[in-house]
A and B are shown apart, each in its own frame.
Chain A
């Protein structure tokens, strides 16, 4: 079945370390997105990419970096510059154009700084 796979499900990071969260999709979707969710809050957009080798900052991009070298992959790196990285991270994808159906989300990665 097609879908989005995020790994790992749980991730622990020491302060000062960079970590990379994986997001892979086999839906042949062009666009991919990273969201951050804090407890009791909605989702906030970190980065998004509409095509390979192109990506745009979302609302809270500081302290994060991404790459889009392949259509199916959109990894997110949480750098040491991110002051409060403990959160639930969600990856999503959508088909090209103004598709009305909406996004497909992964099951998330819960990052904890120890």
Chain B
């Protein structure tokens, strides 16, 4: 699976949009981009995933560049409860890779009042 690069931390004001970048320059054509988040001392929570089209759900939006080498997770109106570590993961669809999500260090997002 392709490696990902994320900034170690970022701050966001409550009520503003939070834009979390992720670089995955070695991504291959059949690999999806996944985002999870982990609130302190809890298990990670699935947020969203995409292949090449932009995606939106009730939690966030995912923007993937046309060359698929980077993506941005957007939390449209950040709240204090969005303070967490956010993980960007690239996952292939082969039977060898589907069972092994690889988590990096992620981005620590702190939402301030």
A residues sitting closer than 8 Å to B (CB atoms) are 4, 31, 33, 35, 40-45, 48, 50, 56, 58, 88, 90, 92, 94, 98, 100-108, 110
Q: Answer whether residue B101 sits at the interface, using C-beta atoms and an 8 A cutoff.
A: yes
B44 touches which of A43, A94, A110 (Cβ 8 Å): A43
Other 16 A-B pairs with CB < 8 A, given A43-B103, A45-B101, A58-B100: A33-B99, A42-B87, A45-B100, A45-B102, A48-B99, A90-B43, A90-B44, A94-B99, A98-B98, A100-B32, A101-B49, A102-B34, A102-B49, A106-B43, A107-B43, A108-B41
Main secondary structure of the interface of B (DSSP, over half): loop
Distance (whole angstroms) from the CB of A38 to the closest CB of chain B: 11
Q: List 27 A-B contacts (CB under 8 A).
A: A31-B99, A40-B105, A41-B105, A42-B87, A42-B104, A42-B105, A42-B106, A43-B44, A43-B101, A43-B103, A45-B100, A45-B101, A45-B102, A56-B99, A58-B100, A88-B41, A90-B43, A98-B98, A100-B32, A100-B49, A102-B46, A102-B101, A103-B44, A103-B101, A105-B44, A108-B41, A108-B43
Q: Which residues on B sit within 8 Å (CB–CB) of A106?
A: 43
Q: Which residues on B sit within 8 Å (CB–CB) of A45?
A: 100-102
Chain B 28-53 near chain A by CB (<8 Å), digits 1 or 0: 00001010100001111110010000
In chain B, positions 4-41 with a C-beta closer than 8 Å to chain A are: 32, 34, 36, 41
Main secondary structure of the interface of A (DSSP, over half): strand
Q: Which residues on A sit within 8 Å (CB–CB) of B80?
A: none
Q: Which residues on B sit within 8 Å (CB–CB) of A35?
A: 103
In chain B, positions 57-99 with a C-beta closer than 8 Å to chain A are: 87, 93, 95, 98-99
Cα distance A110–B93 in the bound complex, in angstroms: 32
Top 4 closest pairs, chain A to chain B, by CB? A105-B43, A43-B103, A42-B103, A102-B46
Asked if A107 and B32 make an inter-chain contact with CB atoms under 8 angstroms apart, the answer reads no
Q: Which residues on A sit within 8 Å (CB–CB) of B104?
A: 42
B42 touches which of A100, A102, A108 (Cβ 8 Å): A108
Q: Which residues on B sit within 8 Å (CB–CB) of A44?
A: 103
CB-nearest residue of chain B to A110: B41
